[in-house]
Chains A and B, each alone.
Chain A
């Protein structure tokens, strides 16, 4: 379970999150919708521990433990996973090498034994097949020259290998055509489980047709403005964010 309490975040002088509260229970899929520039990506970066954000107040609890003081890789090992809006290219590093390094780094920091190559290969073959990822792609440098859809699928592949407790999807639908969107969504749905929760950040209802949320939160001006069920997303699709933005920003 993830609990965000009274979170205030600034970048330099600019206040981005202004007392945000949010709880996502185990097994729950929560969607956050909201206009551009409202702090949705900031929220995902602050949870996962990116540098450059000043948290002035509040806490982020993962199963009751405040993770704000931890390094990004420590949070990852505890089960925080972020699927990036723009997955990053790492030239010269074979995707397979990267995946194995990541899986084993997390196992090490949890005090588990590292996976040996045959076991790892078995794991990755199964996971890749499910996502329609060709094994040849795993020999290429990570995300270098991948299409938008391939990059997103690669992120979901990482999520299925790393088996996080809490997965954040940051506008995973951006830049995806309808087929890619379906494959990615199926990948996420396959990972839904009673002890794993998700935070799905999106502008559009479309993604939520594929990944059905339990709860929908409307975010604007650095905090959650309204919380409801899936019907709230449909409502927003009609009325837009006007009611939440207030005066033109």
Chain B
């Protein structure tokens, strides 16, 4: 009894206020007027000097969006969002397309420094052993700096803000934009199509193995501003790229909307590894504030033998609605989804994946680890389907949930659908609690309660952490420990 009461007491004390990225940057910004209309869509398009076809594309999305309704099927609960009460465009004032870092507002550079993100290449280069990571930094709606571009361009890799790609590489953008996530896909993706402001564009030419990790850091700063990035990555035949995105936001009392779209295209024999460390502000200990993270991420294994893998470590956001998926179109293509979703406080997570088997002998693998603490709700929602022609499709799914305390919930909602008799789907799921036996055993050996919990949780998520690029795995491990601080009982 005593142990139970103490558990409850400890959980009640959870300090999600310990969010370390909660600072704001005092910087002048230029905003579009509040609200959404055709004029605003045109305003954004004009700000970006976009060609006519893209303006029309946006307007079509906007008109379509007006007829759509917010999806209600996810296990999340939040007050209605007033879409006319948001800013849809915000840019740091002094930096319309800086030519070099020297032109970037120093205040902004300091922000990225605080986040531990090296934007100055010489700094990254100074560390002798350190592997190079090219970074695109997106601040509110605008990309502020992209590093290592010259070195990348030597091998033909294009890594730039998508707004720039629209101007410099229109043929690629026009061919692939919206080809994985159609304009009409879903409420948030359609909204994003109408108002997306920036994001990263990557093109890896045939046969090229991208010589370094590519990475984008998203930072929401402005109040009442929706952030709508658009990322498009194309791996041409026989190429390889590993890409990482990181996300943080200041502490704000009001909720902020984030509705991004990520599209991946892998052509014949190409491989894309996409990793996310998502740490948007989760709200305070009473559940006030935090980011609404409504994101559409999809990869298209368009070519034969292509391979897309999603790895995500999700610790942030007040509400998460996110299902990075793979369309396994090419014969022998492979899709993977490795996920760690940690929820604490009053966070609500509804996340998972879709593996859509269209081609012959396509394989997919799903490993999902959900950890719920505090009053949070953590749902895995996954769909695996094999279409009529998906001869020999294989899927393996493993979903494990770990509960800490007794006021949180873990839910697993699998949808399996096969129209081909030769398809083989396996699904394993477990739900467990950190046992008192395990905690006591570790503590008897000298570990404090928090050290013991971190150790046990890290053991629980190890298979997935191993899928992350080395330098980010360490970061992710720390992040998980911080997210669960004070959640133990």
Contact = CB atoms under 8 A, between A and B. Distances in A.
Contacts of A49: 443-444
Nearest to A105: B446
Interface residues of B, number: 28
A229 B294 CA distance: 72
B446 A77 contact: yes
A13 B443 CA distance: 27
Nearest to A102: B445
Given A50-B440, A51-B6, A101-B455, A158 B448 contact: no
Contacts of A109: 446
B436 A51 contact: yes
Interface in A82-100: 82, 84, 87-93, 97-98
Residue of B6, B435, B438, B459 ringed by the most chain A CB atoms within 10 A: B459
A90 B438 contact: yes
A73 B447 contact: yes
A187 interface: no
B46 to A, nearest CB: 53
B441 A101 contact: no
B437 interface: yes
Contacts of B447: 73, 101-102, 105
A71 interface: yes
A180 to B, nearest CB: 20
B433 to A, nearest CB: 13
Nearest to B3: A51
B458 interface: yes
A52 B438 CA distance: 15
B458 A92 contact: yes
A32 to B, nearest CB: 19
B456 A162 contact: no
B455 A76 contact: no
Given A51-B440, A54-B2, A88-B441, A105 B460 contact: no
A73 B459 contact: no
B441 A87 contact: yes
B6 A90 contact: no
Contacts of A71: 443, 448-449
A191 B442 CA distance: 22
Contact of A101 (B2, B444, B451, B463): B451
Contacts of A162: 445-446
B456 to A, nearest CB: 6
A73 B440 contact: no
Contacts of B3: 51-52
Contacts of A141: 459
A169 to B, nearest CB: 13
B1 interface: yes
A49 B474 CA distance: 33
B2 A92 contact: no
Interface string B453-469: 00110111111000000
B455 A90 contact: yes
B305 to A, nearest CB: 32
Interface string A40-83: 00000000111110100000000000000001110011001110
A98 B452 CA distance: 10
A80 B445 CA distance: 9
Contacts of A90: 438, 441-442, 455-456, 459
7 contacts: A54-B2, A73-B446, A81-B444, A88-B435, A90-B438, A93-B455, A102-B445
Please list the 7 inter-chain residue pairs (A to B) with the smallest Cβ-Cβ separation, ordered nearest first: A92-B459, A93-B459, A106-B446, A102-B445, A51-B3, A72-B443, A88-B441
